[in-house]
A and B are shown apart, each in its own frame.
Chain A
């Protein structure tokens, strides 16, 4: 089993749609969880951290289910500018500050 697995995608949605990304991780000892966004041929950028209680940042909501080792990201009212690849990321257990990235799910928002 891969350490971080994401929906294969791609997701093609119209503007204004709600889209959900799912991710599972294999190491139950993982403590830190993040979503990054990566535009084509650019570096990844931190979108948001994911907390056990769930957290929201504008149109973006992230949730964590430790029992199921599952992380999600919900984007509401999607914009053309949300088109990117979304990477699910967890910390590398036993390593200080190093991260394991999923393959990413590509999102295309169409007019």
Chain B
């Protein structure tokens, strides 16, 4: 399977714990995006990387959130001190620049904060 992969697929955690998600993009894609989708809403942009550089961050990305793409390949998204409002599907997508659309989303990581 050469698509975008995300791990874990599901994560249940208690409020206040830290969680980390991983995204592996399609190998030749130099752009990687993180989106968040809450119930009944469309996906909302969080941040994106071009290679290892984080080029843009949404104001949704509070200081409890940090994303990295250290070698320009896989990326991690960490949420510290989780809150119940962090419960959502976290989606990763990748693309080859430049492109207007996003064709390659991963299956997402569904986070539930109890």
Contact = CB atoms under 8 A, between A and B. Distances in A.
A25 interface: no
Interface string B33-49: 10000001111110010
A32 to B, nearest CB: 4
A95 B56 contact: yes
B25 interface: no
B85 interface: no
**Binding site of B, secondary structure by majority: helix, strand, loop or mixed?**
loop
Interface string B97-114: 111111101111010000
Interface string A88-111: 010110011111111110000000
Interface stretch (A12-20, A38-46, A76-84): A38-46
A43 B45 contact: no
B105 A96 contact: no
Contact of B100 (A32, A87, A102): A32
Contact of B55 (A34, A89, A96): A96
Interface of B: 31, 33, 40-45, 48, 55-56, 91, 95, 97-103, 105-108, 110
Given A49-B101, A96-B97, A97-B33, 12 more contacts: A4-B42, A43-B91, A45-B105, A46-B101, A46-B102, A87-B43, A91-B100, A92-B45, A97-B102, A98-B45, A103-B40, A103-B42
8 contacts: A32-B101, A34-B100, A97-B95, A97-B97, A97-B98, A97-B99, A98-B56, A103-B42
